[in-house]
Structure 1
Amino acid sequence: MNTATPASRTVPALYTCVIGHVRTTPRRYTLRHRTYLWLIDPDRPPVLPRPLRPLARFDARDHFGGTLPTIRAGLDAFLAARGVEPAGVRVTMLAHARVFGHVFNPLTLFWCRAPGGEPLCVVAEVHNTYGERHCYLLRPDDTHRASVDKDFHVSPFFPVDGAYTMRLPEPGERLALTVRLDQPGSGPFTATVRGERRPATVRTLVRAALRHPWSTAAVSLGIRLHGVRLLLRGLPVQPRPRHRPQEGVK
């Protein structure tokens, strides 16, 4: 297993991204969305000059149970509840920041490395548009792939069944993530994130914010608008199951 220190250990950083979704059944539908993401060390989140703080804030309320004082404390509680000793674990986190008080993270990723530097696990935190959260503890192989059963309602057009196959290499100069939903007899949905690393400077952040104003609200609104389009195309809506919070996750 590769234990070399990746470029992503130099954080914080910004990634200018293109997010793509491809649905193949029951009707083919594709979308592409440009945005930017932060890669940070949750133990040392970036502190911006006061005038720029509305453009990026990382709040513990937005992750895991939302009741602990820091994001890292929430991650540690999640890991400990699943038998992973969090002491000394080094973490990088990929997510949207709060922008003007709003955030929506369809997927937040935490790459966890043991104190010696070897990869330990990845935590994939999924949010849906109903305000619910669910986390998957993943153990990627040497090709950065992991599979896990789907057990959280995300889209009203897919039932809660099947499994995800994810390829989640820790970001370096480039970001290349793939999440594929597999269901019996088909792979009806694939999401990709492709991005390039940028230094987390004031100039870079301001430029990204001007190109993608209120980016997190745009993500949330875009998901809803595309949902309306799919509904108008006649996609059947699946029943929404009752959400059962995980330990440490609301």
Structure 2
Amino acid sequence: MSVEAAIVAPTVPSLVVGTVSHSRRAPVQRSFEHAHYQWLVDVDDLPRVPLLARFDARDHLDGGRRGGGIRGDLARFLRARGVELEPDDRVLMLAHARTLGHVFDPLTVFWCLRPDGEVRAVVFEVHNTYGERHAYLLDTDERGRGSVDKAFYVSPFNDTSGRYEVALRLDPDLVRVSVALERDHRRVFTAVTTGTPVPATTRTVLRTFRRHLFMTHRVSALIRYHGIKLWLAKLPVQPRPPHSQEAVR
């Protein structure tokens, strides 16, 4: 696997406060941008704020079914694909927290870092509104860029054809994830989350929650809202194929 230069990661846990944007170019053009925040955490030291933030193995990968929590699931996922997560490797996760009992996490990113900060592996995990999820092992270059064939049904208006072009940035002053879907040498869709990492003190968490009330509830509602708008625009609905849980094991 190609590796990036050593990463100097932000302080964790942090809140990554910024925006999420989607741009659809074909077969119709539509775009939006919303205020947004996620958490950047170390999976070996997960924060917990009563009611406002909880991270559960059940919400990621194999759901913690075989033990070891999120890290255990990630280690087994990587081993099955020829990558060994070492005991002293650090795993940072960019994700939504379960808030007021609810979470929906369209995209989770895991950076697996060697002790010197070099990237051992990057995994990004995609969730859809049908309760399914799929994990991709991403081969990144020194700029944090990589590509992988799409294999998971996310939107009812896109089938599983095409290839994702991914660009990642993890710095003390900026976290950015860009995922573009290309099909037949044409970019048809781009999603970007970007934000500034802020140490997750109690005061910061409370202030951010007040400013972005019910963040994960809003994410779920906005996905359905924009889906209805696309349906009203007569965008064809694509059939949803069966999905195997082996994609997260």
Common topology (TM > 0.5): yes
Name the % identity. Answer: 48
The secondary structure found in structure 2 opposite 1:246 is: helix
Residue of structure 2 in register with 1:7 after alignment:
9
Residue of structure 2 in register with 1:80 after alignment:
79
Residue of structure 2 in register with 1:16 after alignment:
17
- Compute the displacement of 1:65 (Å): 1.0
What is the alpha-carbon root mean square deviation over aligned residues? 1.5
Residue of structure 2 in register with 1:109 after alignment:
109
Taking the aligned partners of 1:164 and 1:172, their CA distance within structure 2 comes to 26
- Compute the displacement of 1:126 (Å): 0.5
Residue of structure 2 in register with 1:38 after alignment:
39
Taking the aligned partners of 1:232 and 1:138, their CA distance within structure 2 comes to 35
- Compute the displacement of 1:82 (Å): 1.3
Gaps of at least 5 residues in structure 2 are: none
The secondary structure found in structure 1 opposite 2:141 is: coil
- Compute the displacement of 1:86 (Å): 1.4
What letter matches 1:72 in structure 2? Answer: R
The secondary structure found in structure 2 opposite 1:54 is: coil
- Identify if the C-alpha distance between structure 1 residues 132 and 16 changes in structure 2 by more than 3 Å, giving closer, same or farther: same
- Compute the displacement of 1:69 (Å): 4.8
Corresponding pairs, count: 244
- Identify if the C-alpha distance between structure 1 residues 69 and 4 changes in structure 2 by more than 3 Å, giving closer, same or farther: closer
Residue of structure 2 in register with 1:145 after alignment:
145
TM-score by length of 2: 0.93
Taking the aligned partners of 1:17 and 1:82, their CA distance within structure 2 comes to 33
Q: 1:4-49 CA deviation, whole Å, 9 max, x = no partner? A: 45132x211111120000001111000112121100000011143x
What letter matches 1:202 in structure 2? Answer: T
TM-score by length of 1: 0.93
Q: 1:29-84 CA deviation, whole Å, 9 max, x = no partner? A: 00112121100000011143xxxx11000001000111235111111111122121
Residue of structure 1 in register with 2:70 after alignment:
71
Asked if 2 retains the 8 angstrom alpha-carbon contact of 1:120 and 1:139, the reply is: no
Gaps of at least 5 residues in structure 1 are: none
